[in-house]
Amino acid sequence: MNTTQTTSLIKYLGLHLCLFIGWWILYSHLQGLSVFITYTLLSIKSPSRFGATAEFFFYDTPKVFMLLGLIVYLVGLLRSFLSVEKTRRLLAGKSAVMGHVLAALLGIVTPFCSCSAVPLFIGFVSAGVPLGVTFSFLISAPMVNEIALILLYGLLGWKIAAIYLVTGLSIAMVAGFIIGKLHPENYIEDWVKKLHSDSTQQAAIKISWHDRILFAYHSVTDIFRRIWIYVLIGITIGAIIHGYVPESFMRLVMGVHAWWAVPLAVLLGVPLYSNAAGIMPIVEALIGKGAAIGTVLAFMMSVIALSFPEMVILRKVLKPKLIYMFLVIVTFGIILVGYLFNWVIPVTS
Amino acid sequence: MKKITVYGSGCAACHKLKKLVENLIKENNVTAEVQYSDNFAEMAKLGILSVPAIAIDGQVKSSGSIPKRDEILKWLI
């Protein structure tokens, strides 16, 4: 690194530190701000159902967007160091167990969109990444979502965030492992097996810090443009649940004693497809109203991890039987996690 | 004449990239032929792991995102 690079790096670090301090000051005053907007500025009657709804909305909207901005920016910076190509190189030729663990972990941070599921699948498999390991990656990539993780942390505390991280990774590892044992090679479309991928074509490009920061900044604006509407809809639904749904009703329908709630929540979640950021305010409101944590986490995981469009895309390379296997194993894993947490954490405070 | 192929799986970003390339060609009077492909076998041969991707005369220039206008222009001219 030469002197100009060092000075620009110091300049960037200083700028980021200032921005973060500003972010932190604003973030720690959001509660007071939402109370002020709801009851003083809009003079809504307190206490009232509408007041509770409005307060939730004015508290969650800036909070979710601020957390979202921070995490997408940081992950954007991290991702400027990673690529699908690098992940493939890391996964090829790893021993079975190590492969699943690594695939699940890389699934969180590797830049990936479900529209790339097919080329990625073919590219991984033809480069010698075992099928089971490829599945661990494909399950973990949508399920263990960095946005969901940071929002769970911000809205519900580190314990629930940690539970989500550990169980999500476990499902991805175990499901990939089981699929790997079921001879999945028999259920791949024949044309895929004949392919050989060229893994040498793209040369690595040197990226400067300036480019990395630009990349991270663009990922923030890009994500905000795409999901702000889902987030607002999610917060509105969450706010209405918070203000109007009685706790007794929620405990009855989604409480720990409703044994049927977990599979029902998962089945409801599969056809629903939302962005992780949109679902989180709903998760927050449900848990706040006494819904069991396991049930809500299971619902959230099935919404973000099992998406119907992705299955349709994957059908191009997988025979139906393997798609069913994939769906059944992951659904079963999510239901199991739901029950496990309802059992471990029986009462939500 | 340059042969440009935009690879995609039907996603919104894939079509957006094709439109962007077509517009750039028109605006800058470049003689080039643009086509869209969702042929996964071809993508595998080229080593494309994520879409949208763009290849010019069989050379992959970028994959996994929509490149910046200036960057595409550099490849076109």
Beta-strand runs (E) in chain B: 2-7, 32-37, 53-56, 59-63
Residues B49, A85: C-beta atoms closer than 8 Å: yes
Domain B2-76, architecture per CATH: 3-Layer(aba) Sandwich (3.40)
Phi/psi region, residue A93 (left: phi>0; alpha: psi -120 to 50; beta: rest), is left
pLDDT at residue A200, as a whole number: 54
- d(Cα A120, Cα A138) in Å, to the nearest integer? 9
Per-residue model confidence as pLDDT tens digits over A30-83: 999 999 998 988 888 878 889 999 999 999 999 989 998 998 899 888 888 888
Residues B50, A111: C-beta atoms closer than 8 Å: yes
- How many CA atoms, within 13 angstroms, populate the side-chain half-sphere of residue A124? 27
Which residue in chain B is spatially nearest to A202 when comparing CA positions? B60
Q: How far is CA A102 from CA A152, A237, A323, B75, B76, in A?
A: 23, 37, 23, 36, 39
Phi/psi region, residue A213 (left: phi>0; alpha: psi -120 to 50; beta: rest), is alpha
Mean pLDDT of chain A, nearest integer: 85
The pLDDT-based confidence of A349 (bands split at 50, 70, 90) is: very low
B60 close to A (CB below 8 A): yes
Residues in B touching A110 (Cβ below 8 Å): none
B40 close to A (CB below 8 A): yes
Residues in B touching A119 (Cβ below 8 Å): 7, 9, 40, 43-44, 48-51
CA torsion B25-B30-B31-B34 (nearest 10°) is: -20
Angle at A244 (CA atoms; ends A239, A246), nearest 5 degrees: 120
Distance from CA of A315 to the nearest CA of B (A): 13
Which residue in the block uniquely carries the two structure tokens 């709804």?
A53
Report which of residues B76 and A199 the model is more confident about: B76
The residues that bridge with B4 in the sheet, in sequence order, are B34, B56
- d(Cα B14, Cα B23) in Å, to the nearest integer? 15
- Under 8 Å CB pairs connecting chains A and B tally to 72
A137 close to B (CB below 8 A): no
Report which of residues A273 and A187 the model is more confident about: A187
Per-residue model confidence as pLDDT tens digits over A161-179: 898 899 999 999 999 999 9
Domain boundaries defined on chain B = 2-76
Q: Residue A347 in 3-state DSSP?
A: coil
Q: Compute the average pLDDT of residues A183-207.
A: 71
B74 close to A (CB below 8 A): no
Q: Compute the average pLDDT of residues B46-58.
A: 89
A341 close to B (CB below 8 A): no
ipTM of model: 0.83
Out of B10, B13, B49, closest to residue A120 by CB: B49
Q: Are A112 and A248 in contact, with CB atoms under 8 Å apart?
A: no
Residues in B touching A86 (Cβ below 8 Å): none
